[in-house]
Amino acid sequence: MTKLRAWKCFSVVMAMALLLGVGAIAVPAVPARAEEGTWDIQTVDDIDVMSTSLALDSNGYPHISYTTGGLTSLHYARWTGTQWVKEMVDDVPAIVTSLALDGNDLPHIGYTTFVPGDDSLHYARWTGTAWAKETVDESDVFDCSLALDSDDRPHISYSTIGGASLHYARWTGTAWAIETVDDIAVMSNSLALDSNDRPHISYTTGGTDSLHYARWTGTEWVKETVDDIDVIATSIALDSSDRPHISYATADFLGSLHYARWTGAAWAKETVDPADVWECSLALDSNNRPHISYFVGSGLLVDVGPVDYTGMLKYAHWTGSAWDVQTLAQETVHWEGLDPAPSPVLVGGGKWSSIALDSDDLPHISYGSLVPSATPLSLHYAHLVPSGAGSTVTGPSTGPRASTTPPHPLNPPNMTLQFLNVNPEQASVNEPVTITTNVVNSGDEASNYNVALKINGQLEQSRMVGVGPHGTQPVKFTVTKDKPGTYTVDIAGQNGSFIILGADSNTSGTTDSKTGALMVLALMGVLIIASVVVLLIRRT
């Protein structure tokens, strides 16, 4: 199963329930690497989390909206300066959430709900004393993104399932004005407003499998394709000149984190991290340099065990000359293949992590569980504390803090194969035989690996796969043979075999059956002839 096929199923499958990884063994998270200071990582809420959205108030304090696993409710947490205050906003089966703070630091939240046959888009805001909630669109909504204009009025972009299109809603002051932006199958979308409060939207399509960008000129929507590649998640931000910057994750097993920016004349595009990226969140600093938080998951789609599933929170930022990529947290679960396999908790546009920058351009990130089927399941918050400075948020730490000393050199990629499985071991002529293996990278850097399948010493097929640091990537081959015999299998020293049965083996039963039937018919004929002879003798 490709990542794209899995992503297209999330609107139904992952919106219904989270898979429980019975028999999985969690491995403790690794400490974060921080060259500019210390990453402080905290647990905000011991609850299963599907989607998160982060915003910073005028004091630099974090506010987080989040939806819970199992589709139970929408929640909100904020740091007061001394503690986390948490509350339930709406007791509905919420899926995706998007948060923004107004000029008074009051939260506004857009969110989608899942009720079979009645998915919808909702909006909630804190009045100062209570939550005011309303339904924006009763269509089957898949993903949403919210932003506030200069008058603190909400604007929401969202994609629908039934209509398979991109929509845009804005509050006029008396009612919601809703329009269709693009009448194509849209998966993920992200919204930003420019200095004139005009919307800019990046979005991915499910039919043409590409990254798109739309902007409102004041009179019409101008739309274009940014990258004609399979894309599953996107995030947009505008720089000081109102030019769009977009981060996006590609969909296949060689999927990567990408970044595109509009130069004024063309789109400049590049690959940030060749890891198995599932979602991303983008913010720009005061120098218009990009900062991206993103989730990397390896081994999450294989259906043959045993295998190690690894989930990582990563952070990348542009230094002005290169991308600095860091792994902030990592967790691995071992699956034996006897129970339901872990699945990535990514719904809608995959808003699993969310990044925001403070007035000093320091990153703050909210994120959910690293491996959704493992325990503990929690909402986390991470922020970078400069060397020599104290944390402004001193909640409980989730684990080891990063050292302020320079990190050790990264180990280069180290690729090995974990196992070889041939199924079935005996097959008929031209019957498919599946050969699977796992490529394991025990190094600290991502890399590609060419998996070559040899049958009877001859190259049969090969496949290039990308594997992230400390990741596992499943590889599956399917072969057929038209001649009977025993075939040896070799993948980088991992050996196996299968047998193709001959025509005699397949038809012996049929031949015996036909022979028996002929003998019965012959015997019946003899009996009939004998009966006729007896009758004729009696008459004479």
Secondary structure of 416-455 as H, E, C letters:
EEEEEEEECCEECCCCCEEEEEEEEECCCCCEEEEEEEEE
- What's the pLDDT score for residue 368? 87
Q: How far is CA 263 from the centre of its chain?
A: 29
Strand-strand pairing, 257-262 and 231-238: unpaired
Q: Which residues contact 233 (CB under 8 A, 6 or more apart)?
A: 188, 204, 248, 249, 277, 278, 279, 280, 346, 349, 350
String of DSSP letters for 272-336: EE-S-EEEEEEEE-TTS-EEEEEEEEES-S--SSSEEEEEEEEEEEE-SSSEEEEEEEEEEEEE-
**Residue 228 scores a pLDDT above 50:** yes
Measured between alpha carbons, how far is 331 from 354 in angstroms, rounded to an integer?
19
Per-residue pLDDT of 280-298, as tens digits, reads: 999 999 999 999 999 988 7
Q: How confident is the model at residue 311 (pLDDT cuts 50, 70, 90)?
A: confident
- What's the pLDDT score for residue 71? 60
Joined tokens for residue 308 = 């190690």
Q: How far is CA 78 from the centre of its chain?
A: 27
Kindly report the backbone phi and psi dihedral angles of residue 52, in degrees, each rounded to the nearest multiple of 5, phi listed first: -135, 155
- What's the pLDDT score for residue 522? 55
- What's the pLDDT score for residue 335? 64
Higher-scoring residue by pLDDT: 150, 162? 150
- What's the pLDDT score for residue 508? 42
Per-residue pLDDT of 125-140, as tens digits, reads: 999 999 999 999 998 8
Which runs of E-coded beta strand occur in 71-127? 74-79, 84-90, 94-101, 107-113, 120-126
Q: How confident is the model at residue 468 (pLDDT cuts 50, 70, 90)?
A: low
- What's the pLDDT score for residue 36? 63
Kindly report the backbone phi and psi dihedral angles of residue 10, in degrees, each rounded to the nearest multiple of 5, phi listed first: -65, -30
Per-residue pLDDT of 374-410, as tens digits, reads: 555 689 999 998 876 655 565 544 433 333 333 445 6
Q: How confident is the model at residue 72 (pLDDT cuts 50, 70, 90)?
A: confident
Per-residue pLDDT of 152-203, as tens digits, reads: 999 999 998 765 799 999 999 999 999 999 998 888 999 999 999 999 999 9
Per-residue pLDDT of 3-55, as tens digits, reads: 554 444 444 334 433 333 333 333 333 344 444 688 999 999 988 888 999 99
DSSP run (H or E) holding 8: helix 3-9
**CA quadruple 148, 153, 155, 156: dihedral, nearest 10:** 90
Average pLDDT over residues 212-232: 95
User: 310 and 331 in contact (C-beta within 8 Å)?
Assistant: yes
Q: Please report, rounded to a whole number, the percentage of residues in the chain having pLDDT higher than 90.
A: 52
String of DSSP letters for 37-75: EEEEEEEEE-S-EEEEEEEE-TTS-EEEEEEETTT--EE
Measured between alpha carbons, how far is 337 from 457 in angstroms, rounded to an integer?
30
User: 383 and 393 in contact (C-beta within 8 Å)?
Assistant: yes
- What's the pLDDT score for residue 309? 75
Q: How many CB atoms lie within 10 A of CB 328?
A: 25
Residue-range domains of the chain with CATH: 3-386 (2.120.10.70), 415-500 (2.60.40.10)
The edge-to-edge listing of strands for the beta sheet with 131-137 is 94-101, 107-113, 120-126, 131-137
Measured between alpha carbons, how far is 316 from 294 in angstroms, rounded to an integer?
8
- What's the pLDDT score for residue 172? 97
Higher-scoring residue by pLDDT: 482, 207? 482
Q: Side-chain half-sphere of 457: how many Cα atoms within 13 Å?
A: 0
Residue 436's DSSP bridge partners are 421, 476
Mean of pLDDT over the chain: 80
Residue reference for tokens 């004393």: 129
Q: How confident is the model at residue 112 (pLDDT cuts 50, 70, 90)?
A: very high
**Residue 118 scores a pLDDT above 90:** no
- What's the pLDDT score for residue 534? 46
Round the CA-based radius of gyration of the chain to a whole number and report it: 29
Name the residue type at position 194: D
Higher-scoring residue by pLDDT: 324, 15? 324
Residue 397's DSSP bridge partners are 42
Least confident of 2-6, 147-151, 305-309: 2-6
Q: Which residues contact 100 (CB under 8 A, 6 or more apart)?
A: 55, 107, 108, 146, 147, 148, 154
Q: Please report, rounded to a whole number, the percentage of residues in the chain having pLDDT higher than 70.
A: 71
Per-residue pLDDT of 332-384, as tens digits, reads: 776 665 555 454 444 434 578 999 999 999 999 999 877 755 555 689 999 99
**Residue 60 scores a pLDDT above 50:** yes
Q: How confident is the model at residue 441 (pLDDT cuts 50, 70, 90)?
A: confident
